Structure 1
Amino acid sequence: MDLVKLTSVMRRLALEAGDKIMEIYNSPDFEVKTKSDESPVTEADEAADALISAGLRAEFPDVALVTEEQADSHDQNVSTFLIVDPLDGTKEFVKRRGDFTVNIAYVMDGSPVRGVVYAPAKDRLFYTDAGGNAVEEMGPFDKETVGETKPIRVSTPDNNALLVVASKSHRDQATDDYINKYNVADSKSAGSSLKFCLVATGEADLYPRVGRTMEWDTAAGHAVLVGAGGDVVRFDDHQPLRYGKETFANPFFIAYAPGVDLKEA
């Protein structure tokens, strides 16, 4: 894989998809349908997926592609692949709350090694550079020319005063029970893969997820967090979260800055 080319292509496609998403987001109305798993899907999900998928297949025709909105791509048995969630946080999109992202990642041998997370309504763009280091690019964004970037790095956590982020749409009692095992100075809620990025930038120390996610929800944010010095482990045994699992479903997990004294489930 040409990682310089990959970085450029993923960044450009995320920005192009973001433009398409915001065009629909800012329209007076848009159609919301329900998928077989009862989750919502909009024309923005579908338009962004078509754009990103076509772009990745054109540039990397020999690399397997898994994308949320194409069910036939979920039948693959692969450990190295591109994986896409064209609009992560559809519930936030539908409610016009802004906490939604475009996620594109490259998984190699079961580990997400490169990724881009773009939050178009918040003008925040995070990605791994060609060397695998995580950066945040400052807007306004140009699809062809990279603007000013700054390296991002996880915090040095204080276990007596941790900063925790949790899901906005999926927070429940089990999540709160686990968070209550820590000494928490501040707890915030956020949607989509932005939670990984808040840990990556040091705006949070810990993000536990006690709930259902799929690999396309997490791979890009996972890659950004690793590129910033963080990690993601399984909730049950604190072993690394791996990718290419059957049906691409994740177990519960914990994303964190090293130095957090992880509690048992």
Structure 2
Amino acid sequence: MDFVLLTETFRRLALLAGREIMTIYESGDLGVSVKDDESPVTAADHAADRIIFAGLSEVFPDLVLVTEEQADTHRDGGSTFLIVDPLDGTKEFVKRRGDFTVNIAYVADGVPVRGVVFAPARDRLFYTDADGRSVEETGPFDPDRPGETKPIRVGVPDNDALNIVASKSHRDATTDDYLSKYRSADMKSAGSSLKFCLVATGEADLYPRLGRTMEWDTAAGHAVLSGAGGAVVRFDDHTPLRYGKQGFENPFFIAHAPGIVLKDG
């Protein structure tokens, strides 16, 4: 794999998709409909998907490509593939909260090793560089010309005063019961894969997800967190979360900085 080309392509397509998403977001005509699983989908999901799918297919024609918005790509492609969520956090997008992202990742042998997470309404862009280290780029963003970047790294957690981030749209009593097992200094909510990135930058230490997610929801954020020194483990046995699962559905998981004493459910 040419990781320089991969990084350049991921970054460029994420920014182009984000630009189109913001055009639709600011127009007010979101084109909301409901999918078979009763989750919302918008004109922005489809527009971003077209941009990313076409770009990845052109540059990496021999790689399996899985994207949320195209059901015919949801077939077993083995353990090495590209995976895309063109607009993660559609509920946040519809509610105009701003916590939505573009997610693109490369999974190799079941592990997300490269990824980009772009939050266009927050002007935050995170990605793994060609060497697999995670960075945050500062805007203004030009799809064809990378700007200044700074390395990001997980924090050093204090188990007596953890900074915890949880889902904004999917918070429930089960999650709150689990979080009560930890001693927290700060508890915040965020949408989409931004939660992984907050752990990756040290703005949070722990992000547990006790709800349904799909691999396209998590792969890019997982890669960014790993490249910053963090980890994502299964909730049930604390083993590493793997990808390429049948149906692409994740078990419950915990994203965290090293040094946290993980609690059992």
Question: Is there any run of 5+ residues in structure 1 with no aligned partner, and where?
Answer: none
Alignment partner of 1:61: what SS? coil
Aligned position for 2:27: 27
**Is the 1:77–1:246 Cα contact (8 Å) retained in structure 2?**
no
> What is the CA distance between 1:75 and its match in structure 2?
1.4
Structure-2-length-normalised TM-score: 0.99
Q: Which runs of 4+ in 1 moved over 4 A?
A: none
> What is the CA distance between 1:132 and its match in structure 2?
0.2
Q: Deviations over 1:11-60 (max 9, x none)?
A: 00000000000000000322100000000000000000011000000000
> What is the CA distance between 1:146 and its match in structure 2?
0.8
Q: How does 1:204-223 map to 2 (within 5 A)?
A: 204-223=204-223
Taking the aligned partners of 2:66 and 2:232, their CA distance within structure 1 comes to: 21
Taking the aligned partners of 2:242 and 2:30, their CA distance within structure 1 comes to: 36
In structure 2, what residue type is equivalent to 1:110? Answer: G
Taking the aligned partners of 2:28 and 2:158, their CA distance within structure 1 comes to: 45
The alignment's C-alpha RMSD in Å is 0.5
In structure 1, what residue type is equivalent to 2:173? Answer: Q
Aligned position for 2:125: 125
Aligned position for 1:43: 43
Alignment partner of 1:75: what SS? coil
What percentage of aligned pairs have identical amino acids?
Answer: 75
Aligned position for 1:192: 192
Instruction: Kindly indicate whether residue 142 of structure 2 is the aligned counterpart of residue 146 of structure 1.
Output: no
In structure 2, what residue type is equivalent to 1:165? Answer: V
Q: Deviations over 1:172-223 (max 9, x none)?
A: 0000000000001110000000000000000000000000000000000000
**Is the 2:169–2:191 Cα contact (8 Å) retained in structure 1?**
yes
Deviates more, 1:8-17 or 1:67-76: 67-76
In structure 2, what residue type is equivalent to 1:255? Answer: A
**Is the 1:113–1:223 Cα contact (8 Å) retained in structure 2?**
yes
> What is the CA distance between 1:71 and its match in structure 2?
0.3
In structure 1, what residue type is equivalent to 2:112? Answer: P
Aligned position for 1:59: 59
Taking the aligned partners of 2:28 and 2:124, their CA distance within structure 1 comes to: 24
Question: Is there any run of 5+ residues in structure 2 with no aligned partner, and where?
Answer: none
Taking the aligned partners of 2:101 and 2:57, their CA distance within structure 1 comes to: 21
Structure-1-length-normalised TM-score: 0.99
Taking the aligned partners of 2:30 and 2:195, their CA distance within structure 1 comes to: 26
> What is the CA distance between 1:106 and its match in structure 2?
0.1
**Is the 1:21–1:44 Cα contact (8 Å) retained in structure 2?**
yes
Taking the aligned partners of 2:132 and 2:30, their CA distance within structure 1 comes to: 37
